[in-house]
């Protein structure tokens, strides 16, 4: 296993490029299952463990794929199996994304139930509700979801989500594009990753209106075609790099991002005292002398993202006062807090809110986490902790950050990747 050894106290400066978005790549790759002719060419796909895991799942189903220089080709012509087995699904919850497209193309799908998650319960009831609304019969037995259509086709319907779900919206849209008639989706997720999926489906020939809004209208079609597509950049990676710069008192430019997609986050950086400048596809952040404590509430897009909550908490450990960080999406997503406190932070958890008492001295030690963004928050804290911080179990970071230590070192950080044994 790898660990990151961070020597803190270096100010970050310079320019860095964001990578392709992981969370849009996954549904886009899943959507290739909808079309059995031709070869898709997908650009700006990040070289990440989660993408490899998801590609393995598609290969297991019969897809042929290549990957080189962040470009993926996929042909799903030979896909025959409609079973996503536990061994692959357990590695990544987003595997549920194959349910909608497989059901729409083959009229049947069998997907293992995803297991638990490091930050609390993550049900899939809304995915199943959407498939049932579209006419699927769903049974759950022996740990598998069995979805079938009796050989017929899915039928358009109105789907109203009681809570906003990125994954369930993605699955519903992918199923609806091949359903007979009109589907309307209310309270859809408007996240840029779902917008990107919709634009991809549209390029394939799907008829979708309301893209990027919470009301989607989809007129089913019977044929889609393989296309070439450019994926968006990763707004969460960009936000993480900005937080890393801000905690060190640095000044950096992140290229590739669409600032609009980071609006809520950039607003908070400004409140925290940072100067932000944007161009069409870059953000420059200049840190203040002292960070101002800044509350955030993580909610669905366009609000502050839950995937930036952990990094924001790390940043606020260096603010001059107390800040409150509330997560309204995942109420228990706080497993980074005990570890940040081990570095010397003073953070309390009150229900779904973290109360961060800033400006305590951080000093390096061994820390680890069991989820991706929590691990990112430990790296951010390590950048300013006195001495050496070792972030263990780096495979969580590698799931979602492409070459994170290479990028941070190019900005002036001192991070080494080393091998370690769990009980060294």
Q: Which residues bind ligand UD1 (CB under 6 A)?
A: 23, 26, 93-94, 122-127, 163, 165-168, 189, 193, 306-307, 329-330
Distance in Å, CB of 311 to ligand UD1, minimum: 13
| The one catalytic residue among 35, 117, 198, 274 | 117
Q: Which residues have CB under 8 Å from 325's CB, separation 6+?
A: 295, 296, 298, 309, 312, 313, 316, 353, 354, 356
- Of 163 and 203, nearer to ligand UD1 (C-beta) is 163
Active-site residue, 198 included: no
- Of 170 and 382, nearer to ligand UD1 (C-beta) is 170
Sign of the dihedral defined by the CA atoms of residues 91, 4, 387, 314, in that order: negative
SS3 per-residue string spanning 267-304:
HHHHHCCCEEEEECCEEEEECCCCECCCCEEECCCCCE
Distance in Å, CB of 353 to ligand UD1, minimum: 16
Distance in Å, CB of 387 to ligand UD1, minimum: 32
Evaluate whether 65 touches 24 at the Cβ level (below 8 Å): no
Q: Which residues have CB under 8 Å from 382's CB, separation 6+?
A: 4, 6, 8, 343, 364, 367, 389, 391
Q: Which residues have CB under 8 Å from 100's CB, separation 6+?
A: 30, 127, 130, 131, 170, 171, 172, 173, 174, 175
Distance in Å, CB of 25 to ligand UD1, minimum: 9
- Of 25 and 284, nearer to ligand UD1 (C-beta) is 25
Cis peptide before 302 (omega within 30 of 0): yes
DSSP structure class, residue 232: P
Q: Rounded distance, CA 200 to CA 217, Å? A: 15
- Of 65 and 164, nearer to ligand UD1 (C-beta) is 164
- Of 329 and 376, nearer to ligand UD1 (C-beta) is 329
DSSP string, 336-382: THHHHHHTT-EEEEETTEEEEE--PPPB--EEE-SSHHHHHHHHHHH
Distance in Å, CB of 45 to ligand UD1, minimum: 14
Q: Rounded distance, CA 17 to CA 281, Å? A: 10
Evaluate whether 21 touches 45 at the Cβ level (below 8 Å): no
- Of 14 and 116, nearer to ligand UD1 (C-beta) is 116
Tokens of 102: 């497989």
Evaluate whether 109 touches 135 at the Cβ level (below 8 Å): no
Distance in Å, CB of 26 to ligand UD1, minimum: 5
Of all residues in this chain, which one has the CB nearest to ligand UD1 in the complex? 167
Distance in Å, CB of 127 to ligand UD1, minimum: 5
Task: Provide the annotated active-site residues.
Answer: 117
């Amino acid at each position: 296993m790898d660990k990151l050894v961070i020597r803190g106290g270096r100010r970050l400066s310079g320019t860095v490029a964001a990578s392709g978005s992981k969370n849009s790549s996954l549904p886009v790759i899943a959507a290739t299952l909808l079309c059995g002719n031709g070869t898709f060419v997908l650009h700006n796909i990040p070289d990440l463990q989660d993408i490899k895991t998801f590609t393995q799942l598609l290969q297991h189903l019969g897809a042929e794929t290549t990957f080189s220089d962040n470009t993926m080709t996929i042909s799903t012509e030979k896909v025959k199996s409609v079973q996503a087995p536990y061994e692959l699904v357990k590695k990544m919850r987003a595997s549920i994304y194959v349910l909608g497209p497989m059901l729409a193309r083959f009229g049947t799908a069998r997907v293992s139930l995803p297991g638990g998650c490091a930050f609390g319960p993550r049900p899939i009831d809304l995915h199943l509700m959407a498939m049932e609304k579209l006419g699927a019969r769903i049974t759950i037995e022996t740990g598998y979801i069995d979805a079938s259509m009796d050989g017929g086709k899915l039928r358009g319907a109105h789907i109203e989500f009681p809570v906003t779900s990125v994954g369930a919206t993605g699955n519903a849209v992918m199923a609806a594009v091949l359903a007979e008639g009109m589907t309307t989706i209310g309270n859809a997720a408007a996240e840029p990753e779902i917008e990107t999926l919709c634009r991809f489906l549209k390029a394939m020939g799907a008829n979708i209106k309301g893209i990027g809004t919470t009301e989607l209208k989809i007129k089913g079609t019977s044929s889609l075609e393989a296309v070439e597509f450019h994926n968006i950049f990763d707004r969460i990676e960009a936000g993480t790099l900005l937080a890393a710069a801000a905690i060190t008192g640095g000044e950096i430019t992140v290229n590739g991002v669409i600032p609009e997609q980071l609006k809520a986050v950039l607003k908070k950086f400004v409140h925290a005292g940072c100067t932000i400048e944007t161009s069409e596809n870059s953000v420059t952040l200049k840190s203040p002398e002292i960070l101002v404590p800044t509350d955030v509430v993580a909610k669905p897009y366009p609000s502050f993202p839950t995937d930036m909550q952990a990094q924001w908490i790390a940043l606020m450990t260096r603010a001059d006062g107390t800040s409150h960080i509330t997560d309204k999406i995942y109420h228990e997503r706080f497993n980074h807090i005990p570890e940040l406190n081990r570095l010397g932070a003073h953070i309390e958890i009150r229900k779904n809110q973290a109360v961060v008492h800033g400006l305590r001295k951080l000093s390096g030690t061994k820390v680890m986490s069991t989820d991706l963004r929590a691990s990112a928050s430990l790296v951010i804290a390590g950048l300013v902790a006195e001495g050496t911080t070792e972030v263990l179990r780096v495979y969580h970071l590698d799931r979602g950050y492409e070459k994170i230590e290479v990028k941070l070192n190019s900005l002036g950080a001192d991070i080494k990747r080393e091998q370690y044994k769990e009980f060294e």
